[in-house]
Amino acid sequence: MISPARSRFGWKCCRALGVRRNTAVSESTFSLLQQIQRTHGSEDQGTLQSVAGSVLRVTLPGPVFVGQGLRVREAPAVVLRFDRAGVVAALLASDASPPTAGEVVVPGRSLALQSRQWAAGVTYASVADLLTSEGSPSESLLKLPANPAVPSRRPIRQRLASGLAAAELLLPLGQGHRVGLVGPPGTGKSASLRMLVASQPADTAVVYAAVRSPERLRSEFEALGFSERSAPAVVLCAEPRASAAERYFLVLSALRLATSLRKSHQHVLLAVDDCMNFAEAANELNGAPPVPPAQAVAAMLDTGGNFEDEGAEHALSVAIALDLVPEDELPTTAREVWRGAEPSLDVCLNFSAKLAAHGVLPAIDLDVLLSSAGYPPVYQAPLLGALRKEIRKLLERSKQLNQRLETGRELGFHAETEDLDALGSDTVARALLSHSKPRSLRELAVLACASVVYYFPHHRTPPRSALAGFQAEVLESIRSECPAIWDSLDRLEELKEADVGQLLRELGEPLLARRFHYQLTRGDM
């Protein structure tokens, strides 16, 4: 029913809302005007209707929007969606006692990251401690960052240090690449991702996100020597027992932080461990996350690249770990995430459960990597390019020999001892391209040269301790007995292509001279 506004609510109230003296409005229209004119801090309190785990059903007066921050007691929460029945929200705190129906809910503004200046060095932070419900709509974590325009994209020109022998030799990464580490659990993807992070130069800004305790992450990174830095390195984490909303916003917070650091740093690396945990957390949010995980992962990869802004180039490299096997019949969520991620990946490192079962970790599938490795990129050092050719020959030879022996075994043929010896030696050489800590380029050059020139009289893959001991002994022998060669390898990226052959001969001679000095090359294990 239409009634004069001033007779019902008073002239002063109507004047404050901009309603003229003789204007007639309905009660619903007046209520809407009140909501529009409501200023921050004057919101009425809401009521908690029901609780299901960390998901809440809330009644809120006034305007509501997805991504709005709430307070239940002192615990933060966020609006996921709303309908006529009420508002669905999720608790961000996992250590607080669960609220009960009837408690007061205080609405806030957008859920966003706190504004702060990140100092140089490594900072370990829980994502729940960095969130605030007083952000502006443009700072909302549910607003995915815009991708740079296509005309501003530039070719990949600089090497992205990975510390991984398989990647550095066969398929070197570049600053601005979108890299996927894909494989079943327990194959070394998380360890490889941490080695990638620890290999970055001190002036590279790093954002790393993982569902892990901060104490465990600190000990793992400190063991890799990831400490002194001139640029900020932010390690975001959420406890494994954290709420679904906290684990969900972990990835969105890392994405927002990396895109903000890109404005002030020439190169930023965003590394996200186990995106499938993020997808599982999204499914726990009552089955309706504000941003579907497949869309979030695709948007995160699309932000990567090399760009030009105001005459200067900036690179954002993105590396994600996915616990899935694309060839298997995947669950719906995993299949959608993979379909969203695969088209945006520049490099995909596949990990093999079979290799991991034989003790080869990280279990990077060299045969798959070999099939996807084309011409060497321009930023690969010439000496590593020469070793790359020899490694490719070794891998192709061992692959063909293994296929021939498998076929003969199926047909009932007897395998020649010479073939078994050659396959065993090549298997050990392949295993030497795996390691438990990041390696510098000169260390990788020495180990790659050793795997090519040595013969290993073993039919089975040696234990990881034996492989690690051999790697340490070979590196120490070159470092202590051939200091001139060791110093030359330190300037490996500056080496001219004409000088590669001479340096390889100088490196190969002392290695061959000590070919019987190691237990792994004597065969008496």
Q: Which CATH class is domain 46-112?
A: mainly beta
73 pLDDT higher than 90: no
Within the chain, which residue ranges are assigned CATH 2.40.10.170? 46-112
| Fold classified for 383-522 | Lysin (1.20.150)
Cα 229 to Cα 135: distance, rounded to the nearest angstrom: 30
pLDDT given for residue 54 in this prediction: 86
31 pLDDT higher than 80: no
Q: Which residues of 257-286 are buried (b: 16+ CB within 10 A; e: fewer)?
A: bbbbbbeebebbbbbbbbbbbbbbbbbbbb
Q: Which amino acid is at 335?
A: R
Mean per-residue pLDDT, 367-392 = 92
Cα 116 to Cα 507: distance, rounded to the nearest angstrom: 50
What would the pLDDT profile of 84-108 be if each residue is shown by its tens digit?
Answer: 888 999 999 876 678 889 999 999 9
Residue whose tokens read 């011409």: 375
Cα 199 to Cα 124: distance, rounded to the nearest angstrom: 18
Mean pLDDT, rounded, of the chain: 89
Q: Phi, psi (5° rounding) for residue 453? A: -90, -20
Q: Cβ neighbours of residue 265 under 8 Å, at least 6 residues apart? A: 203, 204, 205, 231, 314
pLDDT given for residue 147 in this prediction: 85
22 pLDDT higher than 80: no
Q: Which CATH class is domain 162-374?
A: alpha beta
Cα 2 to Cα 4: distance, rounded to the nearest angstrom: 7
Q: Cβ neighbours of residue 502 under 8 Å, at least 6 residues apart? A: none
Out of 88-97, 215-224, 336-345, pick the least confident.
Answer: 88-97
Q: DSSP states of 299-310 as a string? A: HHHHT-EEEEET
Q: Which residues of 212-228 are buried (b: 16+ CB within 10 A; e: fewer)?
A: bbbeebbebbeebebee
What would the pLDDT profile of 136-146 be if each residue is shown by its tens digit?
Answer: 988 999 999 98
pLDDT given for residue 373 in this prediction: 82
Within the chain, which residue ranges are assigned CATH 1.20.150? 383-522
Within the chain, which residue ranges are assigned CATH 3.40.50.12240? 162-374
Contact 452, 444 (CB under 8 A): no
Cα 302 to Cα 341: distance, rounded to the nearest angstrom: 9
pLDDT given for residue 292 in this prediction: 93
Mean per-residue pLDDT, 444-451 = 97
pTM for the full model?
0.89
| Nearest partner of 179 among 279, 270, 295, judged by Cα | 270
